[in-house]
Chains A and B, each alone.
Chain A
């Protein structure tokens, strides 16, 4: 039809006259003024351990600093728990389990969990600011995602607490006892909610250790536990470093341990627990493939790619860090992607317009820089949009590597930062092969206009979650977890509850 010819002839004229290719200008004509969130995070100067319903000093008397990664200033002192403190926490939990929580009817437990959810909603803005200060994520994410989603997990599991007879049809369920949990720094409050809510709904008591760089919102949530009248010892929070985590995982009272974090640490924990009768769930690393077929809605796919890898500075275990794009549209997708990331705003996480905040710690920034340098050295083409980063604090610009092949390090190792590797494929089978050619298997994305292909891919991709024409969507009702080195066990939904009970 003539419209077709018209387009190609127009294209040809542009080329033949030798004019430079048209470009869009994303300049400073209309610059946004700073729009900082000003709610008071109500931080304390010093945070203690939360054991037996009270804030207690660590037996060693030692504290460490929590740093704001956005400007490297000190936020608060955090208690460092030793083995004796962990032991006290387990004793408090065991006591609460046998005397109160384990025998309480589910409908009574539900009241406490609902109350926690509502109190968290009441103080949502305060928690969002605290989360952003402590972890560096943009305020719009902590405000619109982390805090509401954490509350949603408490609400959802509170709803289950009096319906546990129906969680495993034909079977009876009983709590496990005391559960030890260790969570990472990428979604401090949300991971806490993911871990606590199903355990509590099922009637377990908990000893939990937040990551050392992001302990504050966990200890703020302890204030809510007190306000909600949660019986002492049901949740105990011990803060500290790896040795504290090892003590939590290895304690003899723990009937089950749950860990979210790196595959490396997960392996150490599994090795140390081999031969014990502890149950385990592990939610570990990922190197997800986000697969774009030629027939996909490309602009929306680009949006999903951006959301997949730059959400939370790429500190997401299910981040779509490997973009697999069909060769026939690879150049077009890459061009659209570059234009899109030109308008991402990197900077002060507390600014409501910030899209990419601060990297969580100096250590993580160094890891990202090391892997990016490896990508450059191995010959991949790097693109970063122009723009200055704040002088102080840990920041890294959104980065896209093209011409990446399966044997590049940046295509195999988890970077856990705002760094995307772009690979291409020609056929559906090749896409599946490449997507599954990884030690991980946490998540994957498929972008196509063809419904039948979505179903085929969902079957063939070895990943715990497959998103179709979207990415990074979470819901308390939906189980989340991995294949292979991404771990085992599920969190969320009915399946997540089953990991916190014994079946009779």
Chain B
């Protein structure tokens, strides 16, 4: 078994890197893949919270690098999935505690035992980003349908190309179908035209994401969530399956009718 290393990054903060990492990891695990997530956000760790594994942390990635524990000791097994692990970040250190060489060597140690290694990149274009991108075999750029997030995505795609890690694939997260329809939000075509990379998923805006994040129960586990379904689709596309992108407008109409309210997206 040789794992594929996928780095999820965005440039801008708050667009959904951590949420996407957690959800894609769980979706892959549900498809019977062995998955490990690495939280690359040293000093501002969140992935453990989103995955609901915060209180299980004993050692972290810096402890591994600095030799205080073995790699296996720092890895936390998910409470729901047999074959899903988290390698948490250190909270009391900063990005400079790690360098790209360390990330590459950790991934090389993990590769034989897993199918997928997902790295949750921190925001920004500095050391943390460089650490996260160094071991990547594939890169997923995540953006929101707003001008500033897309601008930052463009910047980060340029840096990924410069590191010769491209071509990256794109997730457009938090798409509000109603707003797109009213022309108040950038639509898929606008974004793809500017960024000129392949799309791997569109995730609708979904209130369930906030609720599930607070509960540490990623939305992909909720069968009814549209966002959860979108993340499942992304996981299947990562596995090379050809899953069509669901049409926004039709969904919007059906859901408005069903729930009689301005719901939170289609998929």
Asked if chains A and B come from one complex, the reply is: no
**B residues within 8 Å of A by Cβ?**
none
